[in-house]
């Protein structure tokens, strides 16, 4: 186990990484939620640089095989891009969760609750604030 000053410095750095990861992942999750509501209610995806404008919602039809058809041949499907980016951000979020969990030797329940923050809308914001306070309190008790 590292010396207490080194542990405090390491945990502080990981807490800052965790805060960044939790906020970015949380905002992307809110964006995904909004885009999915639009996708499911209107059968549209957000499209960038398509033939109908710089940023538009493009309608699609699901064929008999379950594939989406009717999208423009130009531009980018931002709904899909946001999903992919969130997936990679969630990997970073899980990494910071794991680092915090392993440094402070928390139980598995805390790890899983923090991990759920990346897939349950708004939970990452509340979990980050809650577990940051717990971590800082535990670091203060180590000091004395």
The pLDDT averaged over each successive group of 10 residues in the chain (144 residues) is 76 96 97 95 94 94 90 93 97 97 96 96 97 93 70
Scanning the structure block, which residue is given the tokens 């493009």? 58
Q: Helix, strand, or coil here: 66?
A: coil
pLDDT score at 87? 97
CB atoms within 10 A of CB 3: 8
Spatial separation of the C-alpha atoms in residues 18 and 30, rounded to whole Å:
18
Q: Contact, 90 vs 119, CB < 8 A?
A: yes
pLDDT score at 143? 63
pLDDT score at 79? 95
List the strands of the sheet with 76-77, edge to edge: 53-59, 44-50, 76-77
Domain boundaries, the chain: 4-143
pLDDT score at 141? 86
Spatial separation of the C-alpha atoms in residues 87 and 117, rounded to whole Å:
13
pTM over 0.95: no
Element (H, E) at 68: strand 68-69
pLDDT score at 137? 94
pLDDT score at 27? 97
């Amino acid at each position: 186990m590292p010396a207490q000053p080194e542990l405090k410095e390491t945990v502080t750095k990981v807490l800052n990484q965790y805060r960044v990861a939790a906020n970015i992942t949380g905002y992307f999750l809110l964006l995904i939620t909004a885009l999915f509501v639009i996708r499911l209610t209107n059968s549209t995806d957000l499209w960038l640089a398509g033939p109908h404008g710089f940023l538009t919602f493009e309608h699609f039809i699901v064929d008999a095989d379950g594939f989406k058809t009717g999208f423009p041949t130009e531009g980018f499907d931002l709904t899909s891009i946001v999903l992919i980016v969130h997936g990679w951000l969630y990997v970073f979020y899980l990494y910071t969760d794991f680092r915090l969990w392993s440094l402070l030797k928390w139980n598995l329940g805390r790890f899983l609750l923090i991990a759920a923050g990346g897939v349950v809308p708004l939970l990452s914001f509340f979990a980050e604030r809650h577990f940051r306070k717990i971590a800082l309190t535990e670091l203060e008790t180590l000091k004395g």
